[in-house]
Every structure is written in structure tokens, then in C-alpha cells.
Amino acid sequence: MSVKENEVKENEIKENEIQENQTKEIQMKENKTKENAAKVIGIKKLDEKAFAKYGQFQNLLDDEALAARSIFPYGFFADVVKLDLGNTTLPTVSVCQAKKQEEKRITMLEAHQFTCEGLLPLDDDVVIFVGTPLPGRKFSVDTVEAFHVPQGTFVRLDPMILHGTQFAVNRETAHVACFLPGRTFKNDMLAEFLPEEGQAVLAGEQEGHGGGYETDF
């Protein structure tokens, strides 16, 4: 075999090795992407049956629905949502700023052991997520569902229901009134930041005021 033929053969071997290495790198990147791909959770319309295990909700702008829950048919709709705040003597109102996000990613889950939490979107629809702990109080997105909450709809979350950041639907920033005992963030807060492989992304919403919807994935 001539020197030229040897050089050609060596070049072919090198090219094959380079191609093999490139293929391996691509496969490794693809596998890594699959490992890090967040779970996708479809956003649902609020529904009493679907939401029952998490708490209760009530459209505070729907007079007919309010009258159906109240002992008074008009003027003053009393006690339409019960909010058990535990043994506290200091109920408080806080305000959350919900941001409109292109990617609605769950990076943290929280829950309260002894109190319900009330949420009321004031100036826009929002998307919330809720779930239940796994055995041993393990927090995981595997149990999480997401719901579209129209503006003016009060949501009660029961104790130990997983939840977290709300997301605005139409506005860049929405304001959500939050009802809890004072200092709950210090006295009754279970929270867990999720590793990247344990996170989830909420998807499927449609813009539009008061527009609930449901998507299939």
C-alpha cells in the first residue's frame, strides 16, 4: 500500500471517529434534554366536581349564584364561602402580584397545615395550580392540576393543599387578594423548591376575560 493510500485510509478513520463522536454527543444532549424536560400540565376550567378535593370557589360577581348560596336572596349575600383560619384571632389580607409569563413553570410548592387560604383575583383572570401531598407529605408535581380562575372569583384552598405562584392571563401584572392568618408565611408554611427534573410547565390557556377552558394533553 502506497503512502498516499495510507494517508487516505487514516483520514477516513479520523473522519469516522469524528462522526461517531459527534453522533454520541448529539445522543447525549438529546437524552439530557429528555431527562430535563418538564412535565406539561393542561389548564382546566374551574369545575365544582374537579375542584372539590382542593377546596371551594365562588364567583362573587354572579348575583344568581350568590343568592343560591345565601340565606338572603338579594342585597346582602351572607356567608357564601366558609374560610376556616384555624385558631387565629388575626385574619389578614395580603396582595400577591401575579405576572404574565410565557412559560408558566412550577419551581416551588407550598402548603399550610392548619389553615385554609383564600384567593381573589381583583383585576384579571389568573391561572393557579393545586395538588395533594404524596404519602409522607412528599411534595410532587405528579398530583398537581391547574385551573383558570376568572376575575372576581373567590377560591378557598383547604389545609395541606399544595399551591404556589399565580399567573396573570391578560395583563402584565394582576393583583390577587390573599386571605390568611397573620404571619402564616412564618408560622404555618411548608415549602419545597423543586429540582429542575421535578418541575412542571402549565400550558393550554386562551387569553380573554372570564374565559374558562379545558384542554386535553
Quick one: 145 and 42 in the same domain?
yes
CA angle (155 as vertex; 201, 135 as ends), nearest 5: 60
Mean pLDDT along residues 28-36: 46
46 and 98 part of one domain: yes
Q: Give the count of beta carbons closer than 10 Å to the beta carbon of residue 3.
A: 7
Residues 33 and 136 in one domain: no
Q: Please indicate, yes or no, whether residues 144 and 90 belong to a single structural domain of this protein.
A: yes
Domain of residue 79, CATH code: 2.60.120.480
What single letter denotes the amino acid at residue 172?
A: E
Q: In whole angstroms, what is the distance from residue 33 CA to residue 178 CA? A: 37
- Establish if 164 belongs to a structural domain: yes
Is residue 217 situated within a structural domain? no
Residues 124-165 have pLDDT tens digits of 999 999 999 998 878 999 999 999 999 999 999 999 999 999
Continuous H helices in the chain: 3-36, 48-51, 63-69, 184-187
Which pLDDT score, from 0 to 100, does residue 29 have? 46
pLDDT digits (tens, 9 = 90+) for 56-101: 999 999 999 999 999 999 999 999 999 999 887 789 999 999 999 9
pLDDT of residue 96: 97
What pLDDT was estimated at residue 3? 57
Q: What is the pLDDT of residues 40-52, one digit of tens each?
A: 999 999 999 999 9
> For position 19, what pLDDT does the model report?
66
Q: In this structure, are residues 117 and 157 in contact, taking their beta carbons and an 8 Å threshold?
A: yes
CB atoms within 10 A of CB 211: 14
Same domain, 54 and 29: no
Say if residue 26 is in the same domain as residue 46: no
* 142, 47: one domain: yes
What is the number of domains present in the chain? Answer: 2
Q: Which domain holds residue 177?
A: 38-203
Buried residues in 133-167 as b, exposed as e (16+ CB within 10 A): beeeeebbbeebbbbbbbbbbbbbbbeebbbbbbb
Three-class SS state of 177:
strand
Confidence of residue 30 (pLDDT cuts 50, 70, 90): very low
